[in-house]
A and B are shown apart, each in its own frame.
Chain A
Amino acid sequence: MKSKINFNGNEEQPEESAAALTALLKNYHTPEGASPTEEELVAFIDHKLDDIEEARVKSHIARDKVVYNRWISQVTHLQSLEKQSVHSRSNSLPIFHKIANFLNSTWIKSAMTAAAAGVLILVLTPGQKNIDDYYTNFPMALEEMANLGFQAKALPFGKKPTLIAAVEWGVYKRVQTVLSEEKIRESKWRFLTSSKPVPTSQVSGDMINLAVEIGEYSILQHTYCRQNTIARDEFLEATNQYTRSLITEMNRITVSEKLGISFNENSSASCKFSEEILKLL
């Protein structure tokens, strides 16, 4: 049997661990005072509470397992985000080098250039490579690509009407998460043909979702429409109904919130949809 357990990079006696864990089995009485709210726990992490409140919240964290669990979930969640953020920043230079290489050789070139100008006009590089070809030539590991996505999304959000920004976001989101044509087929088609409803424009929250969805869907459709392949026909056929639903929902958006374009519901599924949307951005 191993005589020691290494918990924190230090050699520790198992007896100590056993003693500590046994002590922690104790059922403490819940301390007095109101149980902390979610915001108070966040404020405790931020050290924004006064001394009295901090002592109260700390006491609940220490002696009420449910509160401790809530607090530790927040701590690990925020630490994880922070760690990724640091990782992302520390990798920014090599990533942008890779972006530069990538831009010189792939279809994403025009999209990234447009992003820099604040205007997105996606034009696929001529030639008949499919997305798998681009992905094969893409020099990054998957996890690096995830970082690239968030580095590259330097769009002027907030300076445009919210819905346009949301559409734009959808375009970027899809551009940067499309890993391979096969992946698109597996994920997006499944996504579209599952029970997932088209977001409804009747609810303000869903209106933004609808706009993001339109952006994502537009660039996906645009990608297929540039190809003269069976995949394109398959895609359009499979998503015909979905396109129509999106158009219907778009037409329900109130005039003041409209994206500035109207569709004939009979437009049905065609490459026109994505072309018109992308022209807006």
Chain B
Amino acid sequence: MAIDWQALFFENNYMAELDRMAHNRFYDLVLAEEAASYTLKCLSENNWERLSQFKGEAKPETYLKVVCGNYLEEYSRKKFGRPRPPKWLVDQGPLWVVAWKMMCIERQLQESVVDRLTKEFQREKQIVVQAIRTIHGKLPWCGHKHMEIPESSLSKDNDEEGASLIENQEDTGSQAFSEDASLIESLFIISSFLNQDVDTHLLLELQAKHFQDANHLEKAINVFHDKLHLSDDEIIVLRMIYQDGFKMKDIAQTLRLTHYQPGRIAKSALNKIKSALVKAGVDIQEVKNLVKTQLT
């Protein structure tokens, strides 16, 4: 579909939008300017060729915003390297990956990360703060300027020319840094995430010890997973609520649901989960107290 991207960009004041995006993405003025220039250069190269993949399925304006966002991320990768979050962190959802990247790789101030993720991206503050605490507990080097970022957390992005922005996503999925992350370790993270008044550092020190008696729990949870059958809507709503900290009204708006539907969908999913837990003989209290029992 032929779109006059240049006209769209200039006539609709997208440069202002791009500047705003860059300043929001990078609080540092210089970085933001460089990132905006990089994005503009990439977009307009060879008569806006990189937007020629557009087929007319989406609104051009929305597509352009998303592509601009991708290029800003691409700039970040070129500047700081390609982030490779550990798998245990990826398992906790995109919010954790974003917080990790801003705090550990770009070394933004913790307060600024919390502020941005809660105010601009409308996440629940409690979830953000707790995620950051847990990340800090697991990765003591994170955010400390005098401590080097481990090589395993970054790889240089050398694909100068071949960086197709469309496919060029973060390493947040299957290619993520393959630090061993057992099911129990993920449960441990969940547990420390929920036991909020317990010192995260102390919990993490005890991490190795508490797996000893956990094999039976891992087996039971595998059975639970086998018995669990959730619909697409249920999985998406659960992820948005419990992993990303979205508010119900935002979930409804995003998925074009009525305001009460996300709550109903979540309730239905939780009932299925409870039922599957009972069938598998898993005591969720055991999961929640996984760490705490080690302290007593």
Q: Could you tell me which A residues sit within 8 Å of B by CB distance?
A: 1-2, 5-9, 14-28, 37-43, 45-49, 55, 58-59, 61-66, 68-70, 72-81, 83-84, 146, 149-150, 153, 155, 157-158, 162, 165, 169, 173, 177, 183, 187, 190-191, 196, 199, 203-206, 208-209, 212-213
B212 on the A face (CB < 8 A): no
Contacts A8-B248, A42-B62, A81-B17 given; indicate if A58 touches B236 (C-beta within 8 A): yes
Contact B284 A65 (CB under 8 A): no
| Interface pair B187/A158, CB less than 8 Å apart | no
Residue contacts A-B, CB under 8 angstroms, 19 given? A1-B195, A7-B124, A22-B284, A22-B287, A23-B225, A23-B228, A24-B238, A24-B242, A37-B166, A43-B58, A47-B256, A58-B232, A64-B173, A69-B172, A69-B173, A79-B122, A199-B41, A209-B44, A212-B15
Q: What is the CB-to-nearest-CB distance from A278 to chain B, in angstroms, rounded to a whole number?
A: 19
In this complex, the member of A5, A22, A41 whose beta carbon has the largest number of chain B beta carbons within 10 angstroms is A22
Kindly report which residue of chain A lies nearest to residue B70, judged by CB atoms: A38
In the complex, are the beta carbons of A22 and B69 less than 8 A apart?
Answer: no
Q: Is the CB of B46 within 8 A of A19?
A: no
Residue B230 is within 8 A (CB to CB) of chain A in the complex: yes
Task: Report whether A205 and B43 are in contact in the complex, using a CB–CB cutoff of 8 Å.
Answer: yes
User: CA separation between A204 and B46, bound complex, in Å?
Assistant: 6
> With contacts A23-B238, A24-B238, A191-B30 known, is A69 near B169, CB below 8 A?
yes
Evaluate contact between B224 and A21: CB separation under 8 angstroms: no
- Inter-chain CA distance A187–B47, complex, in Å, is 31
Q: Give Cα A17 to B285, complex, Å.
A: 11
Q: Is B111 an interface residue (CB 8 A)?
A: no
B45–A150 CB distance below 8 A: no
Interface pair B62/A173, CB less than 8 Å apart: no
Closest A-B pairs by Cβ, 9 of them: A66-B173, A158-B11, A205-B45, A205-B44, A42-B58, A62-B232, A43-B58, A62-B235, A43-B57
Q: How far is the CB of B79 from chain A (nearest CB, A)?
A: 12
CB atoms of A72 and B66 under 8 A apart:
no
Chain A residues with Cβ below 8 Å from B54 are: 39
From A153, A196, A204, residue with most partner B Cβ within 10 Å? A204
Q: Please give the distance in Å from B256's CB to the nearest CB on chain A.
A: 6
Contact across chains for A61 and B232 when beta carbons are under 8 A apart: yes
Binds A, one of B90-98, B138-146, B151-159: B90-98
Q: Given the complex, which residues of B lie within 8 Å of A42, measured CB to CB?
A: 57-59, 62-63, 66
Inter-chain contact B242/A17, CB cutoff 8 Å: yes
Name the A residues within 8 Å of B127 (CB-CB).
Answer: 7
B186 adjacent to A77 (CB under 8 Å): no
Contact yes or no, B91 A25, CB < 8 A: yes
Which residues from chain B contact A80 at a C-beta distance below 8 Å? Answer: 24, 120-121
Residues of B within 8 A of A (CB): 6-7, 10-11, 13, 15-17, 19-21, 23-24, 29-30, 33-34, 37, 40-47, 53-55, 57-59, 62-63, 65-67, 69-70, 90-91, 93-94, 97, 120-122, 124, 126-127, 165-166, 169-170, 172-174, 183, 186-187, 190-191, 193-198, 221, 224-225, 228, 230-233, 235-236, 238-245, 247-248, 250, 254, 256, 266, 269-270, 273-274, 276-277, 282, 284-285, 287-288, 292
Nearest residue, chain A, Cβ from B242:
A20
- How far is A250 from B90 in the complex, measured between Cα atoms in Å? 47
User: In the complex, which residue of chain A has the Cβ closest to the Cβ of B8?
Assistant: A158
| Chain B at the A interface: SS class | helix
Given contacts A18-B194, A21-B190, A70-B169, contact A39 B57 (CB under 8 A): yes
The answer to whether B21 and A20 have CB atoms under 8 Å apart is no
Tell me, in angstroms, the Cα distance from A120 to B247 when the chains sit together: 45
Instruction: Assess whether A165 is in contact with B10, with CB atoms less than 8 Å apart.
Output: yes
Residues of A within 8 A of B274 (CB): 19
How far in angstroms is the closest Cβ of chain A from B77?
14
Instruction: Return chain B residues, CB-CB under 8 Å to A38.
Output: 63, 66-67, 70, 165-166
Q: A14-B288, A23-B230, A37-B166 are in contact. Are A2 and B197 (CB under 8 A)?
A: yes
Please state if A78 and B62 are interface contacts (CB–CB under 8 Å).
Answer: yes
A78: which B residues are within 8 A, CB to CB? 62, 65-66
Residue of A39, A49, A150 with most chain B CB atoms under a 10 A cut-off: A39
Please report the C-alpha to C-alpha distance between residue A49 and residue B67 in the assembled complex, in whole angstroms. 19
Chain A residues closer than 8 Å to B41, beta-carbon distance: 199, 203, 205-206, 209
Known: A48-B57, A81-B65. A21 touches B236 (CB 8 A): no
Taking A75-B254, A212-B40 as known contacts, 20 extra A-B pairs with beta carbons closer than 8 A to each other, sorted by chain A number, are A7-B124, A9-B247, A21-B243, A24-B235, A25-B221, A42-B58, A43-B57, A47-B256, A49-B57, A64-B173, A69-B97, A69-B170, A72-B94, A77-B69, A78-B65, A83-B120, A191-B33, A199-B37, A205-B41, A206-B41
Q: Do B37 and A212 touch across chains, with their CB atoms under 8 A apart? A: yes
Chain B residues contacting A18 (CB-CB under 8 Å) are: 190-191, 194, 284, 287-288
Interface centre among A1, A40, A78, A169, by most chain B C-beta atoms within 10 angstroms, is A1
